[in-house]
């Protein structure tokens, strides 16, 4: 299985193009409060210069359906990633054209903490509205979690699981081998500084994932 790779926190066209060249399948644009936050107008300027096959995922924190739907339309996102306590608002679907409702990739984060199994059960109850689950140690925390323990909790459950939190070119291979996720998501592990990507780290990250798949 080929692991889906998302480079998040895209803030410039230069970094977006370098991410694609490195081998990322998807780029993340953060519209939530963050050192890497980007305005919808700026994100659209970048996106209109990108190949159509590259996924463009908008990252939101406890946003309402109207705000998300408006951003999806204006920025021409291909997916949304929801963080926070809210579930993905149903009104998103009512406000989007039918073809966007069907094609939009919907990702919901689950915090991997002491009560992870309980949080997992609650989140999976909404599986008909979600395409993939992002397991994170905390938005922007830069910390990893126990991949094998999390894998044990999700095994035999249907769904696509994405690992995030503290991934780097040095540890992502171990994460892929331990969890065998559908996808991986990285921000700080491929940066020179917040909001600025490191081309060498991006290439090394992708190479490490692809090598781990073969093992």
pLDDT score, position 114? 66
Rounded to whole angstroms, the Cα distance separating 58 from 78 reads 8
As to burial, measured by CB atoms within 10 angstroms (0-12 exposed, 13-18 middle, 19+ buried), residue 102 is exposed
Q: What is the separation, in whole angstroms, between the first and last Cα of the chain?
A: 11
pLDDT score, position 22? 98
Q: Please report, in tens digits, the pLDDT of each residue of the chain (215 residues total).
A: 899 999 999 999 999 999 999 999 999 999 999 999 999 999 999 999 999 999 999 999 988 888 888 899 899 999 999 887 666 666 676 777 676 777 889 998 888 876 788 777 777 776 777 889 999 887 555 678 888 888 888 887 778 999 999 999 999 999 999 999 999 999 999 999 999 999 999 999 999 999 999 88
pLDDT score, position 126? 67
Count of domains forming the chain: 1
Which one of 87, 115, 136, 149 is the catalytic residue?
136
3-state DSSP assignment of residue 55: strand
pLDDT score, position 140? 57
136 carries an active-site annotation: yes
The reported pTM is 0.92
Question: Which CATH number characterizes residue 189's domain?
Answer: 3.20.20.70
Residues spanned by the domain of 180: 4-214
């Amino acid at each position: 299985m080929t692991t889906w790779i998302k480079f998040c926190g895209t803030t410039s066209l230069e970094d977006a193009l370098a991410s694609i060249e490195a081998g990322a399948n998807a780029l993340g644009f953060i519209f939530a409060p963050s050192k890497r936050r980007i305005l919808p107008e700026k994100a659209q300027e970048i996106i209109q210069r990108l190949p159509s096959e590259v996924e463009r995922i908008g990252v939101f924190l406890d946003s309402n359906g109207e705000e998300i739907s408006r951003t999806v339309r204006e920025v021409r996102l291909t997916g949304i990633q929801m963080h926070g306590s809210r579930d993905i608002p149903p009104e998103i679907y009512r406000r989007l054209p039918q073809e966007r409702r069907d094609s939009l990739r919907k990702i919901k984060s689950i915090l991997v903490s002491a009560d992870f199994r309980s949080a997992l059960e609650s989140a999976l109850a909404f599986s008909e509205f979600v395409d993939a689950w992002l397991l994170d140690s905390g938005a922007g925390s830069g910390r990893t979690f126990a991949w094998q323990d999390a894998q044990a909790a999700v095994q035999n459950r249907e769904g696509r699981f994405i690992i995030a939190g503290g991934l780097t070119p040095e540890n992502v291979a171990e994460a892929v081998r331990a969890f065998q996720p559908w996808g991986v998501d990285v921000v700080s592990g491929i940066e020179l500084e917040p909001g600025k990507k490191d081309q060498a780290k991006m290439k090394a990250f992708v190479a490490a994932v692809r090598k781990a798949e073969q093992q």
